[in-house]
Amino acid sequence: TATPEDVDRIVGDALRPVALGVGILYAIFTAAHLLLLTPPSSIVMAAAAGVTGVFNFGVYRYLSGRRLPRGWSQQLAVLILIGVLTNALLHLSLTAQAMQTTNLMITVLGSGMLLMSRRWMALLVGIAVVGWGATALVFWNGPDWIHFGFALLSSCVVAALVHEARLRFVQRFLEMRGQQRSQRHALRERETSFAAIVDRNDDAILVLDRVGHVLYENPSAQALRARHPDLLDGVFEVQA
C-alpha cells in the first residue's frame, strides 16, 4: 500500500524539473504579454506572469541540493498549479476570448499528471470550472463559449481518468515492490535456517560438482576428510 511518505517522495522528485519548466515558460510569457497585449492588460498579465516565474525559479533554487520537509510536496505542487490557474483565469477575463479556455484545459490536464491526491485534484478542477463559469457568465457573447465549455469539461474528465490511472499504477507498483522485498527477506531467512541446520548436523554433508570437486562441506565433513584424505578417491571418474 502506498504510504503518505511514498506519495510525498514521488511528487517531490517531480517538483524541481516542473518548477524549472514553469519558470522558463512564464519568463517567456512575461515578455510576450508586454509585446502582444495592449495596456492595461499587458501590464497586469506581465506582472502576474513575472511573479509566477520568479516563484517557480525560487522553488527550483530551493530544491537544488535539498529535499522538502516531509509532507510538503503535495502542497507545494498545488501552489504551483494555483499560480498557473490564476494566470489562465486572469488572461481569460482580461481578453474576454473563449479560446483562452485552452490555458485552463492544459493546466487541468497537467494537474492530473502531477498530483497524487484525489482531494487536491478535485480542488484544482473545482477552481478551474468555477472560475471559467464566472468569467463566461460575464463575457458570454456567442457559441464559442459553449464549444470551449464542453472542451473544458472533456479536459476535466480526461485529467480525472489520467489521475486515477496514475494513482492505481503507483499503488500496484508499490505493492509489487513490497512483495518482492518480503520474498527476498523470506528467502534469506530460509537460506540462513538451512545453513544453520546443515552446519550443525553431525552427519557429513558435501556438495560436489559432476567431476567430484567439493563445492561445499559442513564442519562434520571437513573433520571426516581431515581424518581420511582419500575418502573420495575413485568415487568419480572423469570421462574423456
Q: Max alpha carbon distance in the chain (Å)?
A: 103
Span 184-202, average pLDDT: 81
Q: Yes or no: say if 33 and 47 are a contact pair by the CB < 8 Å rule.
A: no
Tell me which amino acid residue 132 is.
W
Q: What cell was used for 122?
A: 478535485
> Of the spans 151-160, 161-170, 193-202, which averages the highest pLDDT?
151-160
The residue with cell 510576450 is 32
The CA-atom distances, in angstroms, between 162 and each of 6, 89, 155, 158, 173 are 19, 23, 10, 6, 16
Query: How much is the pLDDT for 233?
Result: 61
Read off the pLDDT band of 69 (50, 70, 90). Answer: confident
Query: How much is the pLDDT for 238?
Result: 40
Percentage of the chain exceeding pLDDT 70: 95
- Give strand ranges (E) for the chain: 206-208, 214-217
Mean pLDDT over all residues of the chain?
88
How far is residue 15's CA from residue 115's CA, in Å, rounded to a whole number?
10
How far is residue 228's CA from residue 219's CA, in Å, rounded to a whole number?
14
Read off the pLDDT band of 139 (50, 70, 90). Answer: very high
pLDDT tens column, 49-62: 999 999 999 999 99
DSSP secondary structure string for all residues of 12-35: HHHHHHHHHHHHHHHHHHHHHHHH
CA within 13 Å, CB half, 29: 22
pLDDT tens column, 5-48: 888 888 999 999 999 999 999 999 999 999 999 999 999 999 99
Question: Where do runs of H (alpha helix) occur along 96-143?
Answer: 101-114, 118-139
Choice among 25-29, 72-76, 113-117, 199-203 with the minimum mean pLDDT: 199-203
The secondary element (H helix, E strand) that includes residue 190 is: helix 144-200
Choice among 87-96, 101-110, 153-162, 206-215 with the minimum mean pLDDT: 206-215
pLDDT tens column, 199-224: 788 788 878 777 777 788 888 888 87
Query: How much is the pLDDT for 232?
Result: 61
pTM (two decimals) = 0.77
How far is residue 148's CA from residue 222's CA, in Å, rounded to a whole number?
83
Query: How much is the pLDDT for 110?
Result: 95
The residues with which 240 forms a beta bridge, in sequence order, are none
Span 60-68, average pLDDT: 89
Q: How many CB atoms lie within 10 A of CB 116?
A: 22
Span 156-162, average pLDDT: 97
Read off the pLDDT band of 157 (50, 70, 90). Answer: very high
